[in-house]
Amino acid sequence: MKFYPLKFKPILKERLWGGTKLKDTFGKPSTSAITGESWELSTVKGDVSVVANGELANTSLQELIEKYPEELLGKSVVERFGTEFPILIKFIDAKQDLSIQLHPNDELAQERHNSFGKTEMWYIMDADPGAELIVGFNKDVSKEEYSKSLENDTLLDLLNYEKVKEGDTFFINTGKIHAIGAGVLLAEIQQTSDVTYRVFDFNRKDKDGNLRELHTELALDAIDYKNKDDFKVEYPKGMNSVNSMVDCPYFKTNFLDLDKDLKFETKNRDSFTIYMCVDGEALIENEFGKVSLEKGETTLLPAITEEIAIKTTGVKLLEVTI
């Protein structure tokens, strides 16, 4: 089997808060005015990615993993996660504010939903002037104080707001209350999980006039009520080098800002490699083939890859491994 760099058909998701930037900026094949997410790499049940390029076109990612687990994922990844792809890769366009939410940790998610928890990171690709994120509380809060704020409709007074610009990066631990604000376009890397506890949705109604479901009781034991300044990722931005951004038990992410070609060995990596193009364009090659990558596109290089070459005159990439 030739394990060339794989591109996948985007899985587009309509969201109440979505817009048209995924189509307008990245050329995603959307026909909706409220496309909020493009799932780039997924094996979430019902939303499994399908190969878009080369001789494996129209084959599902899950099918490939089950047929070639170690070649695709890496031996150590298979030992940890079996034949489930361990991360979910997305681009997100927030035309409106997202709901205020949080994600349970692995233990709670396993107990309640037979799922992994959801640790995630965001890389800001574009932000309208004044755009913000909500990340955590602005002070230590008790469970009682939090519950009272929901009753009194004063939760927003307890939350921490962060102005954002292109290149800003945030790491969102499980339990941390958060929301993406209106006018933000970002790349998201997360554990494979779709378990979200929504706690406030600005009293919005969906297209059928219904309020969206809240998960008030489930969230109470999942929230981290402490004010922690542990979410903004400061990372080196050296040109033509591999800059470490996030290194956590669930994924490792590096930042590459290149204005010339780069080549390096990966035969000892024992993990797949993902590239998300956040600006510019490049040709990504391994010993089995090559693929072009433009802003808003993603490629997966199987773990069996021994050498990667990136050919470019200008590109910014997020490199993701386990």
Residues with active-site annotation: 198
- CA distances for 28 relative to 13, 31, 118, 208, angstroms: 11, 9, 26, 26
Query: 273-286 and 242-247: which strand pairing?
Result: unpaired
Q: Is 175 exposed, middle or buried (0-12, 13-18, 19+ CB in 10 A)?
A: buried
Structure tokens at 85: 């792809």
* Residue recorded with tokens 């070459």: 309
Bridge-partner residues for 179, per DSSP? 134
Report how far residue 287's alpha carbon sits from residue 3's, in angstroms, rounded to the nearest whole number. 8
Is the Cα dihedral 306, 296, 189, 89 positive or negative?
negative
